[in-house]
Amino acid sequence: MVLDHGGRSEPMPVRGPDRHAARRLAALPYPLHYETRHTAVVGLCPDRFGVTVTFPDHDEWFDIVVCAQPCCQAERLPGLRLDAWSRDHVALLYRAVHDTRLPLSSAELLADGLDLYRDDREAFSWWENTLRPHITTVRRSFTPAG
């Protein structure tokens, strides 16, 4: 998961069916690197929720590209219904990564939820329930019951 703090860099040449994801990639403040091995990215293919990132050894990762600043007015995951991805979910993600210092891989549970569940609300609910035990600062549920 790439957390974009609102900075702008030069647009990256990306081809793919989803231009919304390509536009989000252009907002990334730093070149994409896989943190633990510092390997340069050789391919980016945007899709409904984010981008598939390819590395020189043909390893691939699916990542969501989203602004994690709760105050940001940027478009959020346009592939989802507008009522599914809320400012509160962005705030939850921001607190999960920054306030509690959870590893970034914990935030990537959201991508897993979207892979596991076809319904956006079910995916968010699963993600929230899985992440909640590790976060003490979140007091309420962002997904409606039922």
Residue 28's pLDDT band (cuts 50, 70, 90): very low
pLDDT of residue 127: 77
As a whole number of angstroms, the distance between CA 86 and CA 56 comes to 35
Output DSSP code: residue 11. Answer: P
Residue 32's pLDDT band (cuts 50, 70, 90): very low
As a whole number of angstroms, the distance between CA 68 and CA 74 comes to 10
pLDDT of residue 124: 78
Q: What percent of the chain has pLDDT over 70?
A: 12
Q: Which of 101, 99, 100, 41 is nearest to 65 (CA)?
A: 41
Q: Which of 4, 118, 140, 141 is nearest to 69 (CA)?
A: 4
pLDDT of residue 77: 42
- When the pLDDT of each residue in the chain is averaged and rounded to a whole number, the result is 53
Q: Give the count of alpha carbons within 13 A of 51, CB side only.
A: 27
Higher-confidence position of 127 and 69: 127
pLDDT of residue 98: 52
